[in-house]
Chains A and B, each alone.
Chain A
């Protein structure tokens, strides 16, 4: 039995390590899966205007049925990504940028922006961004820029849907 003492101690230490490593990796793995799943809509570095969420929606957990989501799954491995949001005739809209760890690197709503366009460049540290653009620095190469638009009445969604499709997302290079 004594021959198992140190191997069992090693197992206990590695169980502790395994718990914390798994916990730390959980958000990265789920974020990576979600980014990949959303990219099936229009690809990376492109804005995808998803329909209003229903019980069939499975791309993102806990979607809000009151919000129209346009999302840009970004990949910065070849350089910054530019996001251009045009105002939408809705009582609330916002742009948020989530990095690969699920942290919010940027959020700005229509009230903050005075209902004016929002133009940002998502970039990693050290990547140059064009003059005059707001640089949003993120950790990791991938993530999601998300445009949320309040659609208080589903029957009048057409105007919001048309307006939100003027927003864009594209790689700088």
Chain B
């Protein structure tokens, strides 16, 4: 084999392997995974020039057009408070208290980040629907529930995104674990 062929083969393989590794790394990345708080993950540099290359790439795949922290904070959960993956065939109680912001909403997505078909055509619960903002429960389950129900559509794995718009601290801080909702599995 001629020397230039060896160089060309190794160069092409190297570039392909590097690019493939980057794509795989981003595809397995979690939206807002720069900081974990209980079952929730978040990041504070979305949409800013401060965002690193990896964060920027994951956000473009999982949450394109995300706003900067002073306008909205995004908290994402792919697991419950016990650390187990969220399963669309199970019933969960999401319990929260006052969230210091103008408004918030809790939305259910599939892993690629799309809304999930369900018989109620309900995709989120927003703060305006909560009778007592200081202490609230949302039941996430495949079948209809009394109270605030967020349907799972019986998909295998789902994610919850809590959007917190116009946070009282201007996005400078992050909600602490006791400020973020707990996600407790009640049965399958």
Point out residues on A near B: beta carbons under 8 Å. 3-4, 6-8, 10-24, 26-27, 30-31, 34, 53-55, 57-58, 60-66, 91-92, 94, 96, 98, 101-104, 107, 109, 111, 144, 146, 150, 152-153
In Å, the complex CA distance between A58 and B117 comes to 13
User: Ordered nearest first, which 4 A-B pairs have the shortest CB separation?
Assistant: A18-B18, A11-B14, A11-B10, A14-B14
Interface string of B1-28 (1 = CB under 8 A from A): 0010011011101111111011101100
A24-B53, A107-B71 known; A61 vs B62 contact (CB < 8 Å): yes
A10, A26, A34: the one contacting B26 at CB < 8 Å is A26
A27, A54, A65, A111: the one contacting B57 at CB < 8 Å is A27
> With a CB–CB cut-off of 8 A, which chain B residues contact A18?
14-19, 22
A7-B7, A10-B7, A146-B65 known; A63 vs B115 contact (CB < 8 Å): yes
A6, A12, A55: the one contacting B123 at CB < 8 Å is A55
How many A-B residue pairs have C-beta atoms within 8 angstroms? Tell me.
Answer: 174
A20-B53, A27-B57, A64-B163 known; A53 vs B7 contact (CB < 8 Å): no
CB nearest to B104 among chain A residues: A66
Would you give the shortest CB distance from A120 to chain B, in whole angstroms? 16
Size category of the B interface is: 35 or more
In Å, the complex CA distance between A107 and B170 comes to 14
Inter-chain contact A23/B26, CB cutoff 8 Å: yes
Inter-chain contact B60/A31, CB cutoff 8 Å: yes
B95-151, CB < 8 A from A? 102-103, 105, 107, 109, 112-118, 121, 123-124, 126, 128-129
Would you give the shortest CB distance from A135 to chain B, in whole angstroms? 18
A11-B14, A23-B54, A107-B68 known; A64 vs B114 contact (CB < 8 Å): no
In Å, the complex CA distance between A163 and B59 comes to 31
The answer to the question of B166 belonging to the interface, with a C-beta cut-off of 8 Å to chain A, is yes
A-B contact pairs, 25 of them (CB 8 A): A7-B3, A7-B7, A7-B9, A10-B7, A11-B11, A11-B13, A14-B10, A15-B14, A17-B14, A18-B17, A19-B21, A23-B22, A23-B54, A30-B64, A31-B64, A55-B123, A60-B65, A65-B124, A66-B126, A96-B65, A102-B65, A107-B67, A107-B71, A152-B128, A152-B129
A64-B124, A152-B128 known; A7 vs B6 contact (CB < 8 Å): yes
Would you give the shortest CB distance from A2 to chain B, in whole angstroms? 11
Interface string of B50-86 (1 = CB under 8 A from A): 0101101101111111011001000000000000000
CB nearest to A103 among chain B residues: B49
CB nearest to A59 among chain B residues: B64
The answer to the question of B40 belonging to the interface, with a C-beta cut-off of 8 Å to chain A, is no
> With a CB–CB cut-off of 8 A, which chain B residues contact A62?
31, 62-64, 109, 113-114, 161
